[in-house]
Amino acid sequence: MNSNRVLTGIAVMAATIMQVLDTTIINVALPNMIGQLDATPDNISWVLTSYLIASAIIMPLTGFITDRIGQKRFLLISIAGFVVSSALCGMATSLAQMVLFRFLQGVFGASLVPLSQSIMLQIFPGEQRGKAMAIWSMGVMVAPIMGPTLGGWLTEQISWRWTFYINLPVGILSFILAMRHVHDTPTRERRMDWLGFASLGLGIGALQLILDRGNQDDWFSSQTLVFAALLSVAAFIFFIVYTLTGKHHPLFDLRIFRDRNYLVASLIMTTIGIGFFGGMLLQSLFLQNFLGYPTFEAGLYMAPRGLASFLVMIFVGKFVNRIQPRNFIFVGICASILGNYMMTRFTGDITANDLIVPMMLQGMGMGLIFVPISTLAFTTLPKETAAEAAGIYSLIRAVGSSFGIAILATYFSRSTQQSWSLLRGDITPYSEALRNYLAPLHLGAQDPQGVAMAARAVLHQAQNIGYIDSFWFATLNFVMMLPLLLLVRTPKKGAAASAPAVSAE
């Protein structure tokens, strides 16, 4: 491996890790922002929502902008914009400023991941693209896992503002190396489909708003979310009809979904959102809210998953050209099923050590799934559709993760509420179970202190049932992926080596 390839790889991977890390690193800092930004627990979530909406809208434009100005210029603009907006976020003094600067972060950061993968695939020869995918995947998958740990440490030891300032040295290093070592691509004239972009952006933005705030605002009990849902459906229908029937140069060609492997890979990536991204959120809540671990300590106990993913991706990158990708994916799904199933046995009596094996199994599963499925998605696509396919695939992964988090969070809330409603029926002055529970504490069934203690115990048990039900839901989510593998078309030998250099984030 020559020195230029190494320095190019460092440049683009630093940008990737910086952007992906920012999607999760500030989550643990939100409570600390409330007071200093004069916000409330309800509206502070816009700090996350604005970033996700901006990123989802701009992501599909990666191919178009790359064609217009070249990948090197686009990469440098994205890195510089992300670094500047990160600094502005760190200096924000009000919620309005923070939301605006986070929106800018999303705009500039949206294309960093797809650009980085495209460049990684370009600098590696065809027979080493599995290795390139593995290196890229390490940053994409490990960074969000480590984000809460790093964010918790920075917030506790220094300030929440350093969850943004940490991007500055990384971004500056990435910019300098990219300016010197990243090769440019030829530009070509393309007309902007403004009507198509406006309808797609409106649909994605409204959908992202629903997914991000649905559980908090009780979904369609909110008139705002009902309006957003109608707007999203109408915008998507218009975009699809307009793109397929309009006599114009579309934003991208939707006919790429005729490719079976690309379609199946897209479906699997969407489904993974529930089992992986939703499950990761739930496990963090389980450690912090249910078992009572501090934020930083909870992040450390989740680290085995990231370590397992990291090591498995190295293995997959070495052998992905020798073993059929479908076999890797099958083993990865099975490992994920076993890891999630083990978590359905968890109670409040477990220790942190009991988490290590299921966490590692889930990390192994993602390492075995992510690299092959992203490679497989593009092996049978014609080269001329590379840019459009990359933008759509990036969007699918982003929206899939939002779907997963929203669905599993809602399922947990509803399961907990239902369990609480059933269990609290036993808290009556005439309940023998309640009297037996309070007797060792020398409290009576009509004693207010005793009733309060019993209510807390019932709530704790209801939450435990909610977590168990949700882990079962995640387990079944992975089981549902198995039939999709039967639809995968096995690429001819050497197909992966000749696949176009595209982004598959």
Residue with tokens 């929203």: 406
Residues 164 and 99: their CA atoms lie apart, in Å, by: 13
Compute CA distances 167 → 60, 162, 233, whole Å.
24, 9, 36
User: What are the extents of the domains in the chain?
Assistant: 1-191, 193-248, 258-505
Q: Is the pTM of this model over 0.75?
A: no
Give the Cα separation of 388 and 63 in Å (integer).
6
Same fold, 1-191 and 258-505: yes
The hierarchical CATH code for the domain 1-191 is: 1.20.1250.20
Three-class DSSP category at 423 = helix
CA angle in degrees (0–180, nearest 5) for 50-24-378: 90
CA angle 218, 223, 224 (to 5 degrees): 90
Residues with Cβ within 8 Å of residue 226, at least 6 apart in sequence: 220
Q: Where are the alpha helices (DSSP H) in 252-344?
A: 260-272, 279-285, 295-319, 325-343
CATH code of the domain made up of 258-505 = 1.20.1250.20
Amino acid code (one letter) for 429 = P
387 CA to centre of own chain: 22
pLDDT attached to residue 262: 82
As a 3-state breakdown, the chain gives helix, strand, coil percent values, each rounded to 5, of 80, 0, 20
DSSP per position, 336-354: HHHHHHHHTT--TT--GGG
By three-state DSSP, how is residue 376 classified? helix
Opening angle at CA 378, ends 376 and 380, nearest 5: 90
Reading the chain (505 residues) residue by residue, the pLDDT tens digits are 466 777 877 787 888 888 877 777 776 677 777 777 877 766 676 777 778 778 877 877 777 788 788 888 888 999 999 999 999 988 888 888 888 998 899 889 888 877 877 777 677 665 666 666 667 666 666 666 677 777 777 877 788 888 888 889 888 988 888 888 887 777 777 777 777 778 888 888 888 778 777 777 777 778 888 888 898 899 888 888 887 776 666 666 677 787 788 888 888 888 777 777 777 777 777 877 777 777 677 767 777 877 788 788 778 777 777 777 788 888 989 998 998 888 888 887 787 778 888 888 888 888 888 878 877 777 777 665 665 676 677 778 777 777 777 788 788 888 888 887 777 766 666 566 666 666 665 565 566 666 666 677 777 788 888 888 888 988 888 888 888 888 777 655 544 444 433 333 3
Q: How many other CB atoms are there within 10 angstroms of residue 257's CB atom? A: 12
Q: Which residue has the tokens 């020869």?
A: 125
Element (H, E) at 30: helix 30-36
Distance CA 124, CA 228 (A): 44
| Residue 76 amino acid letter | L
How far is residue 6 from each of residues 14, 123, 176, 185, 504, measured CA to CA in Å?
A: 12, 9, 14, 19, 21
